[in-house]
């Protein structure tokens, strides 16, 4: 492993890393420690850039430690000749050595290797985002599937301001593709902050096509002479959408191709921990300086929206026990077509048949399933109301009791 060229604090540990000075609040740190089977968070070089080859460095990280992976691997562009604009100015192409592969087969080998290494250190409920273009994304997608990852979505980043097609020989290449995948088919508990995204999208669920401008202006890292430091710096808005969607504050985000450090910058701002691996010391150094300047947003700004799924479960029986509803009361549906009697054991009776609020609701309608909480209504103070209102009351007193 190489070390960074300059200006790195905290480089005394065996693994030499760049500490960027962010520290998660104690409460969220504990979440990171996770179950006893995963190594304690202290063993991880949190919020650091590891300068070195991604395969070597990933292998040194403890298994089952990463919550979210964002990977922006080389695209394997195959450019033959220089391209000039209609005004004869030259396009500054990506012709760096790190994007050169001898063949598709070489690229596939490389992809298999880093995906395998990443998979080992992902927690069972972690997910991964990989970004690419048509040059490489089909290779990446196939290999993800072959390795047992379970694709959740492919996502299209529509560029608001793409480079046009100067020769008029193709459609404007105006998007890049992200693949979002869980560690395996069985991983059903992955994080997806559905309500949070929906709340920020005019109460409409977020689609698989995202519109963002490319990274320009003040956000784009430049050297003293005004040249861009990294040819493919990603916009922070893209990474923010990803982290808000698929991680919580305090989670650990890995970026095996750290580059200019957009992942680290956004992670710090959103109160996530990160680990970045970057081969080029000059990129790592620029990223380190960039991240040092970032400040974490106030906790209120990054708090998660509690999802319905994460609310404590309440049994209808407990409402009866708590006296919120009395045995013998009648429940009806909104259209007053069906009526049931509440039993002392928390079941309801439809004629001679008894069962849960859900089962009986389904039976009454002849449907395979029914949400009894929203289907059944009770009568109080001259009006009908869904029994879900009683559940909300029960939850409120639970919260009070916890304080």
Partner DNA sequence: CGCAGACTTGAATCCTCGA
Partner DNA sequence: TTCGAGGATTCAAGTCTGC
Q: How far is the CB of 196 from DNA (least distance, A)?
A: 11
* Element spanning 244, H or E: helix 236-246
Q: How far is the CB of 281 from DNA (least distance, A)?
A: 18
Residue 311 DSSP one-character state: S
| 133 and 79 Cβ atoms separated by less than 8 Å | no
CB atoms within 10 A of CB 17: 27
Instruction: Mark 236-257 as b/e (b = at least 16 C-beta within 10 Å).
Output: bbbbbbbbbbbbbbbbbbbbbb
Cα separation of 401 and 396, whole Å?
Answer: 9
Site mask for a copy of itself (CB under 8 A), range 28-67, x = bound: ----------------------------------------
Site for DNA in 196-235 (CB under 7 A): 198, 203-205, 213-218, 226, 228, 231-233
Site mask for DNA (CB under 7 A), range 302-341, x = bound: -----xxx-x-xxxx-------------------------
| DSSP SS3 for 229 | coil
Nearer to DNA, 150 or 384 (CB): 150
367 binds, among DNA, a copy of itself, none (CB under 5 to 8 A by kind): a copy of itself
Total site size for DNA, rule CB under 7 A: 83
313 binds, among a copy of itself, DNA, none (CB under 5 to 8 A by kind): DNA
Residue from the set 11, 28, 206, 339 that interacts with a copy of itself by CB under 8 A = 206
Question: Which stretch in 56-64, 244-252, 282-290, 363-371 sits in contact with DNA by CB under 7 A?
Answer: 363-371
* Strand 252-255 to 48-51 pairing: unpaired
Half-sphere exposure of 139 (CA within 13 A, CB side): 22
Burial class (CB in 10 A: 0-12, 13-18, 19+), 86: exposed
Instruction: Residue 114: name the closest of 181, 56, 44, 39 by CA.
Output: 56
Question: Which stretch in 2-10, 26-34, 86-94, 115-123 sits in contact with DNA by CB under 7 A?
Answer: 86-94
Asked if residue 189 binds DNA (CB under 7 A), the reply is yes
Nearer to a copy of itself, 199 or 297 (CB): 199
CB atoms within 10 A of CB 11: 14
Asked if residue 262 binds DNA (CB under 7 A), the reply is no
| DSSP SS3 for 77 | coil
180 binds, among a copy of itself, DNA, none (CB under 5 to 8 A by kind): a copy of itself
392 binds, among a copy of itself, DNA, none (CB under 5 to 8 A by kind): none
158 binds, among a copy of itself, DNA, none (CB under 5 to 8 A by kind): a copy of itself
Site mask for a copy of itself (CB under 8 A), range 98-127, x = bound: ------x-----------------------
Nearer to DNA, 86 or 382 (CB): 86
| 54 and 4 Cβ atoms separated by less than 8 Å | no
Site mask for a copy of itself (CB under 8 A), range 352-391, x = bound: ----------x--x-xxxx---------------------
CB atoms within 10 A of CB 10: 14
Instruction: Residue 44: name the closest of 259, 276, 268, 291 by CA.
Output: 276
Asked if residue 135 binds DNA (CB under 7 A), the reply is yes
376 binds, among DNA, a copy of itself, none (CB under 5 to 8 A by kind): none
| 255 and 277 Cβ atoms separated by less than 8 Å | yes
Nearer to DNA, 12 or 188 (CB): 188
Cα separation of 114 and 237, whole Å?
Answer: 26
Cα separation of 10 and 31, whole Å?
Answer: 24
Question: Which stretch in 22-30, 44-52, 142-150, 310-318 sits in contact with a copy of itself by CB under 8 A?
Answer: 142-150
Q: What's phi and psi for 201, nearest 5 deg?
A: -130, 45
Asked if residue 338 binds a copy of itself (CB under 8 A), the reply is no
Q: How far is the CB of 320 from a copy of itself (least distance, A)?
A: 26
């Amino acid at each position: 492993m190489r070390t960074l060229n300059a200006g790195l604090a905290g480089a005394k540990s065996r693994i030499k890393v760049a500490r960027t000075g962010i520290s998660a609040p104690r409460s969220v740190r504990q979440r990171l420690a996770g179950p006893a089977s995963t190594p304690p968070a202290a063993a991880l070089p949190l919020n650091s850039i590891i300068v070195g080859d991604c395969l070597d460095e990933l292998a040194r990280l403890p298994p089952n430690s990463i919550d979210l992976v964002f990977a922006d691997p080389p695209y394997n562009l195959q450019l033959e000749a220089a391209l000039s604009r209609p005004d004869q100015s030259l396009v500054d192409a990506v012709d760096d050595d790190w994007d050169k592969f001898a063949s598709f087969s070489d690229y596939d080998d490389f992809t298999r290797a880093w995906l395998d290494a990443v998979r080992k250190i992902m927690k069972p409920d972690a997910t991964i985002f990989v970004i690419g273009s048509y040059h490489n994304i089909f290779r990446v997608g196939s290999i993800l599937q072959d390795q047992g990852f379970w694709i959740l979505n492919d996502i299209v980043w529509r560029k608001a301001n793409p480079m046009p097609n100067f020769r008029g020989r193709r459609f404007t290449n105006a998007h890049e593709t992200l693949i979002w995948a869980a560690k395996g088919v069985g991983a059903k508990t992955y994080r997806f902050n559905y309500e949070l995204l929906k709340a920020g999208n005019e109460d409409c669920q977020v689609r698989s096509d995202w519109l963002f401008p490319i990274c320009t202006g003040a956000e784009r890292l430049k050297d003293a002479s005004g040249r861009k430091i990294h040819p493919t710096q990603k916009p922070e808005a893209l990474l923010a959408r990803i982290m808000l969607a698929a991680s919580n504050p305090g989670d650990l985000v890995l970026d095996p191709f750290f580059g200019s450090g957009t992942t680290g910058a956004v992670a710090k701002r959103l109160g996530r921990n990160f680990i970045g691996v970057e081969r080029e010391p000059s990129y790592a150094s620029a990223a380190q300086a960039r991240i040092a300047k970032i400040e974490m947003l106030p906790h209120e700004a990054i708090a998660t929206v509690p999802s319905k799924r994460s609310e404590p479960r309440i049994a209808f029986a407990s409402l009866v026990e708590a006296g919120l509803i009395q045995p013998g009361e009648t429940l009806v549906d909104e259209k007053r077509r069906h009526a049931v009697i509440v039993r002392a054991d928390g079941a309801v009776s439809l004629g001679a048949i008894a069962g849960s609020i859900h089962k009986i609701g389904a039976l009454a309608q002849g449907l395979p399933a029914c949400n009894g909480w929203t289907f059944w209504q009770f009568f109080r103070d001259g009006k009908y109301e869904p029994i879900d209102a009683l559940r909300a009351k029960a939850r409120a007193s639970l919260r009070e009791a916890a304080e």
